[in-house]
Chains A and B, each alone.
Chain A
Amino acid sequence: MTDELDRRLRRYFAREELDAPSAAELVVPGSTAGPRGPHRLSRMLIAAAAVVIVVGGITVLQQRDPDHRPASGPTPPTCPGSSVIRTASLDRPTVPAFRTPLAAARAWAGPDAGEIEIDSAEGFAYLRRDDGTVRAWMRLESTRADLEEDEPSAWSVDGSERCASEASTDEWNGGARLDCPPARAIVGTVVRESRPGQERVGLALEPSAPDLMGFGVAASIGRTPGARSGDVTTTYVREGRVQAAARLALEADRWIPKQLAVCPDLAPGPTPGSDDLRLLPVTVGHCAIDELRHDNRDWTASATDDFGWGGGLAERWVGLGTVTEEGDRLTYRDLGGQEVTFLPTGSAGTARSQPCD
């Protein structure tokens, strides 16, 4: 039967491969050649451009027509008064891809950009002046724009314009504002901004995908003036109502989320109500889950629960969840319901078979 099954499998694969697509449809990374459809080609060019930027420091602008616009997709807003300065004037020669649109926009705009509003549904970010008027916008591109919403992605800035005239977002884009999609889970990325005499840090909340690699939309950024050490608490307010509060602690020059209180209508899974929910942060690198320190023990994600190591464009991010310890097994469950088994560091079952790319 085994020999017969061998023959059947070989026959199956031989027939199946006939339906495979042709290599002529591939785009060679680093090259702009390739006969793929406009949407796929656009995406691949963006991905290739992002990769080239990350590795070689070649700018997007060098590879793209500055007047390029996607063949399809949302219509970019137009600055009232039509006094526009092109992207290059922002002097951001390299823009890597980031896990969230907010991180991509912030990397592009620089630390002095001030508030950044993200309209991820339309793929734009807005910079405002202190008086609330918009002074520039950016068009955001996802390297996986054709996947489902809950698929992981990497974001980069595809273009931007700086408005010379006074304008409000309302005038541009039909009153587009930050708006959280229905949240299924809360994960966060620590966002930090330094200005003379002011330090801002916050946890950019994201409704996450149902797995750890998922990402959502940066919803808000906390503001805690003057915080340089110790713990800070940042609150998230939308439509005049507090949505969540997070406590972060500065450890070794790195802000670590310690607690998160989520309003019931945003909190999935174990409803925390109005009380603080003790959550453990799990940090995910570009291809692996970092070790966890809990109950004075070091824990490592089991090899079967860890990610692949195919490399990645994404920035690090932090997920939040609760843990249950049972002997030599720690079960981490994030607020989206994703479970990851951790084992004592160094024990069998934690060894990664391959290094990261």
Chain B
Amino acid sequence: MAQPADSVVARLVHERGDWLLRCAYLLTRSRDAALDLTQDTLARAWTARERVEAADHPDRYVLRIMLNLHRTTSRRSRLREVELLEAQGLAAAADPVAAVDEQHRIAHGLALLSDRQRSVLVLRYWADFDDAAIADVIGCRRATVRSLAARGMAALKSHLEAAE
């Protein structure tokens, strides 16, 4: 059995820890929630470390665990999540007012999307995954990815137009 220091999970934390945390943060919009989500993901990855090791893309495998964990937890706390998002208001950002407003509008619009739609947009526009990679991570067909992205973008566009 691999020792903790040289386990695939330890390597992932070393090489992709920041990347996983940023993805978790973009999904959860909360530093604490991102830490918890990432930590829980790593704990699950540790239990499945042989499969993670054997995966063609271990980082994608772990990301898949994260997205499913996020789906499970966000389903339970959806209302609270929106309230917190509105309460935070991105007030801590140091950008000029217009930029803050822009961030706020998009953040709010993303929060209104389904978890899968938001996940697809994060993976496409932040992680720069192509549709095949997103389908692999989310566990669906590429056509479904395109559909989720299209519907997510349409909803986001509608929200932004209403907000502007």
Q: How many A-B residue pairs have CB under 8 A?
A: 148
Interface size on B, residues (CB 8 A): 60
Tell me whether A54 is interfacial, beta carbon within 8 Å: yes
Whether A310 touches B65, Cβ cut-off 8 Å, given contacts A13-B122, A23-B18, A48-B43, is: yes
Contacts of B99 in A (CB 8 A): 15
- Who on chain A is nearest to B116 by CB? A304
Whether A54 touches B47, Cβ cut-off 8 Å, given contacts A8-B102, A31-B4, is: yes
- Who on chain A is nearest to B115 by CB? A308
Interface size on A, residues (CB 8 A): 51
Contact status B125-A9, CB under 8 Å? yes
Tell me whether B156 is interfacial, beta carbon within 8 Å: yes
Contact status B139-A353, CB under 8 Å? yes
Interface residues of A in 45-60 (CB under 8 A from B): 47-48, 51-52, 54-56
Contact status A21-B35, CB under 8 Å? yes
Contacts of B5 in A (CB 8 A): 31
Tell me whether A27 is interfacial, beta carbon within 8 Å: yes
Interface SS, B side: helix
Tell me whether A199 is interfacial, beta carbon within 8 Å: no
Contacts of A10 in B (CB 8 A): 125-126
Contacts of A8 in B (CB 8 A): 102, 106, 160
Whether A357 touches B65, Cβ cut-off 8 Å, given contacts A8-B106, A25-B35, A51-B47, is: yes
Distance (Å) between the CB of A319 and the closest chain B CB? Answer: 15
Tell me whether A252 is interfacial, beta carbon within 8 Å: no
Q: Which of A2, A56, A310 contacts B41 (CB 8 A)?
A: A310
Q: Which of A1, A19, A51, A213 contacts B76 (CB 8 A)?
A: A213
Interface residues of A in 176-234 (CB under 8 A from B): 209, 211, 213-214
Contacts of B160 in A (CB 8 A): 5, 8
Q: Which A residues have a C-beta under 8 Å from some C-beta of B?
A: 1-2, 5-6, 8-17, 19-23, 25-31, 36, 40, 44, 47-48, 51-52, 54-56, 150-151, 209, 211, 213-214, 307-312, 353-354, 357
Extra A-B contacts (14), CB below 8 Å, given A17-B25, A51-B46, A312-B44: A1-B157, A16-B25, A17-B126, A20-B34, A23-B17, A26-B39, A27-B42, A30-B10, A30-B46, A48-B46, A307-B72, A308-B71, A308-B72, A354-B64
Q: Can you give 6 A-B contacts (C-beta < 8 A)?
A: A8-B102, A13-B122, A17-B25, A17-B26, A27-B39, A28-B4
